[in-house]
């Protein structure tokens, strides 16, 4: 029987994000630095995590594991670089089967102490 436990589910999410971030740390640092440059002056624009993935992929910045994309987007949300909206749109990557993805507003990138 499946155990439904929201608290355990959130802890599993946190643990997974920490694990994938740690195993992709050089990539995470490189993409955050590159995003600062690529997204400078675009504050207020609407975009999705898929838009960020497409931009970084075009620049040849691929993580070791695909879950690192989610960890990156979640980090950007926590740092308030991406502000979630209540809007969604279909994804464009054919492998995504046009599933809905959240639209974010790009916020000004603020330096965070201890972050590259």
Domain count along the chain? 1
Q: 99 φ, ψ to 5°?
A: -65, 155
Nearest CA to 28 among 86, 72, 78, 92? 72
Q: What is residue 110's DSSP assignment?
A: P
Asked if the structure places residue 112 within a domain, the reply is: no
Query: What pLDDT score does 73 carry?
Result: 95
Asked if the structure places residue 113 within a domain, the reply is: no
Query: What pLDDT score does 114 carry?
Result: 43
Boundaries of domain holding 46: 8-106
Query: What pLDDT score does 111 carry?
Result: 54
Rounded (5°) CA angle 36-65-45: 30
Asked if the structure places residue 48 within a domain, the reply is: yes
Query: What pLDDT score does 110 carry?
Result: 65
Query: What pLDDT score does 83 carry?
Result: 96
Q: Could you list the pLDDT tens digit for every one of the 116 residues in the chain?
A: 888 999 999 999 999 999 999 999 999 999 988 998 888 889 999 999 999 999 999 999 999 999 999 999 999 999 999 999 999 999 999 999 999 999 999 998 765 444 43
Asked if the structure places residue 82 within a domain, the reply is: yes
């Amino acid at each position: 029987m499946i155990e439904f436990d929201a608290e355990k589910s959130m802890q599993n999410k946190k643990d997974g994000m920490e694990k994938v971030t740690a195993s992709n740390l050089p990539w995470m640092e490189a993409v955050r630095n590159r995003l600062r440059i690529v997204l400078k002056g675009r504050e207020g624009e609407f975009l999705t995590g898929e838009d960020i993935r497409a931009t970084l992929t075009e620049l040849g910045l691929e993580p070791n594991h695909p879950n690192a994309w989610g960890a990156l987007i979640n980090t950007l949300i926590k740092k308030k670089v991406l502000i979630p909206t209540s809007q969604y749109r279909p994804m464009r990557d054919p492998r995504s089967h046009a599933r809905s993805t959240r639209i974010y507003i790009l916020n000004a990138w603020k330096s965070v102490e201890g972050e590259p």
